[in-house]
């Protein structure tokens, strides 16, 4: 368990005292109690599990902070339910360079994705697993196609600080925004002639985002009505 796993750690790093005070928690307060106590200052929560074959170059903690910065604008909390290292386990070594095929919306996952995503380890049906691998084949920052009943995404070592938030956005039902390929010629489709790097779901590369990207109301509605977006577990009075 990690301090940053708590749903209470919102956006930019904040002190435990500040977060606990915001939640009217009683002092003195142990770290364990802070992390494990139920309750989340959002109306919806997504619960994610992090399974790491290879750590990304951008620290995981930084990706989580960025993800929460965006998701909190949708009044959605991000709770890290578990972390598991799958590094140096023989059965997983060949999945560390994960074949994801075309990785397009609607395309089925590859046999390797099916094999990796089978490893859920007590993850509940309405929870999301993010697998961190060394690379995707072909090279991509992330991929959010997943086997039916095993919602999740794969994120590569080369991912940007926003990739996890972007891929989980796909898992929650978001698509890339429209209007970024204006007047692209047939010889260069998806040319990103008019990219919008203020949006999380840009299809032109989250690595180019500056500042905190936005999600619009229609996207918020999609995220909040996803079956993977849960009521937050309430604190026991």
Partner 1 sequence: MTVTLQEVTAHLDQDETDYEAAAKLGPEALPHLLQLVEGDDPGRASKATYLAATIGGDQSLPVIEKAVVSANPVIRVAAAGALGRLQHIPAALARALLDDPDAGIRHLSLQALEIHLPAGFKVKVEQMRQHDPDGAIRAIAADLVNRLPP
Least distance to partner 1 from the beta carbon of 237, Å? 43
Segment lying near partner 1 (by CB under 8 A), choices 23-31, 43-51, 161-169, 217-225 = 161-169
Give 82 or 99: the residue with its C-beta nearer to partner 1: 99
> Which residue(s) pair with 230 in the sheet?
45
Residue 66 — φ and ψ, nearest 5°?
-65, -40
Structure tokens at 174: 């978001």
- Interface with partner 1, residue 160, by CB under 8 A: yes
Least distance (Å) from partner 1 to the CB of residue 17?
Answer: 36
Site for partner 1 in 44-73 (CB under 8 A): none
Write down the least CB distance from residue 195 to partner 1, Å: 8
Binds partner 1 by CB under 8 A, chosen from 109, 151, 152, 195: 195
Q: Which of 55, 93, 182, 227 binds partner 1 (CB under 8 A)?
A: 93
Q: Which two tokens stand for residue 119?
A: 């490893």
Dist. CA 51–CA 172, nearest whole Å: 19
Q: Does 166 bind partner 1 (CB under 8 A)?
A: yes
Q: Considering only the stretches 30-38, 76-84, 85-93, 116-124, report the one whose residues sit in contact with partner 1 under the rule CB under 8 A.
A: 85-93
DSSP one-letter code for 8 = T
Burial 183-222 (b: 16+ CB within 10 A, else e): eeeeeeeeebeebbbebbbbbbebeebeeebebeeebbeb
In sequence order, the β-bridge partners of residue 78 are: 46
# chain residues binding partner 1, by CB under 8 A = 40
Note whether 120 binds partner 1 by CB under 8 A: no
Under 8 Å CB-to-CB from 2, ≥6 apart: which residues? 35, 61, 80, 83
Residues that bind partner 1 (CB under 8 A): 90-91, 93-94, 96-97, 99, 102-104, 134-135, 137-143, 157-160, 163, 166-167, 186-192, 195, 203-208
């Amino acid at each position: 368990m990690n301090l940053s796993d708590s749903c209470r750690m919102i956006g930019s790093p904040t002190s435990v005292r500040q977060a606990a005070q915001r939640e009217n928690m009683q002092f003195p307060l142990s770290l364990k109690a802070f992390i494990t106590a139920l309750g989340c200052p959002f109306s919806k929560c997504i619960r994610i599990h992090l399974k790491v074959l290879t750590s990304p170059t951008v620290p995981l903690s930084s990706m989580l902070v960025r993800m929460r910065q965006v998701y909190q604008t949708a009044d959605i909390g991000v709770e890290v339910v578990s972390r598991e290292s799958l590094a140096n386990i023989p059965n997983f070594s060949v999945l560390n360079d994960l074949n994801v095929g075309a990785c397009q919306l609607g395309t089925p996952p590859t046999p390797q994705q099916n094999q990796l995503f089978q490893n859920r380890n007590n993850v509940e049906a309405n929870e999301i697993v993010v697998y961190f691998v060394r690379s995707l084949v072909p090279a991509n920052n992330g991929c959010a196609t997943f086997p039916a009943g095993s919602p999740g995404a794969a994120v590569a070592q080369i991912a940007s600080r926003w990739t996890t938030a972007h891929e989980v956005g796909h898992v929650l039902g978001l698509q890339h925004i429209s209007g970024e390929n204006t007047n692209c010629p047939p010889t260069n489709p998806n040319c990103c002639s008019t990219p919008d790097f203020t949006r999380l779901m840009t299809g032109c590369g989250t690595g180019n985002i500056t500042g905190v990207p936005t999600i619009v109301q229609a996207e918020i509605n999609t995220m909040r009505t996803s079956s993977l977006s849960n009521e937050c577990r309430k604190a026991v009075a």
